[in-house]
Amino acid sequence: MTRRPRPPAPRVPVNVLAAIAVGGALGAVARYAVGLAWPSAAGGFPWSTFAINVAGCFAIGVLLVALTEGSGPPHPLARPFLGTGLLGGFTTFSAYAVQAERLFALGVPGTAFAYVLGTLVAAVLATQGGAWSARAAAGTAARRHVEQVSGRAATRTSGRRRSP
């Protein structure tokens, strides 16, 4: 049996890798700081990781709407830096898995199940909520802009005198 040669791996530009690395480092430092400021007791519900993941998912929803539905093309490094890097480094689903396993090992399956299911549900809802919020904010901003533009147009035309 002969093996087929693998196709070459796609090359990722160095600036994209750098954006991901810098964003990831910043996100990981932010996550670490939250964990230090809000530690979890052994066997207790890991609230800091839960909050980090839910907040990160909300931010991902906002970011993706801003990048894909915004007015004009985003900077080419915005998604790698902010999405994959910063928010990827901030959210920590690996710690989520380890903490869930640890809760089971400590003999608190109720807390473990609540953590596993609660995080999944909250993360999905937060992502959708972030997307909805971004769209609502964009719609509000667009309406304000239209009102301002139409208000200026009405002001300009209302100042004219009508001829009898």
Q: d(Cα 122, Cα 58) in Å, to the nearest integer?
A: 10
Spell out the domain ranges in the chain: 14-156
Residue 75 DSSP symbol:
P
Helix axes 93-105, 47-69, angle to 10 degrees: 150
- Residue 36: Cβ within 10 Å count: 9
Question: What are 126-164's pLDDT values in tens digits?
Answer: 999 999 999 999 987 767 767 777 776 555 555 555 444
Residue 141 makes CB contacts below 8 A (sequence gap 6+) with none
How many other β-carbons are positioned within 10 Å of the β-carbon of residue 122? Answer: 17
The secondary structure of 76-105, three-state, reads: CCHHHHHHHHHHHHHCCHHHHHHHHHHHHH
Helix axes 109-158 and 47-69, enclosed angle (nearest 10): 30
Distance spanning both ends of the chain, measured CA to CA: 96
Largest CA distance in the chain: 96
Q: What is the predicted pLDDT for the residue at 162? A: 47
Closest CA to 59 of 83, 94, 25: 83
CA distance 152 to 164: 25
pLDDT computed for residue 141 by the predictor: 72
**Which parts of the chain sit beneath pLDDT 50?**
162-164
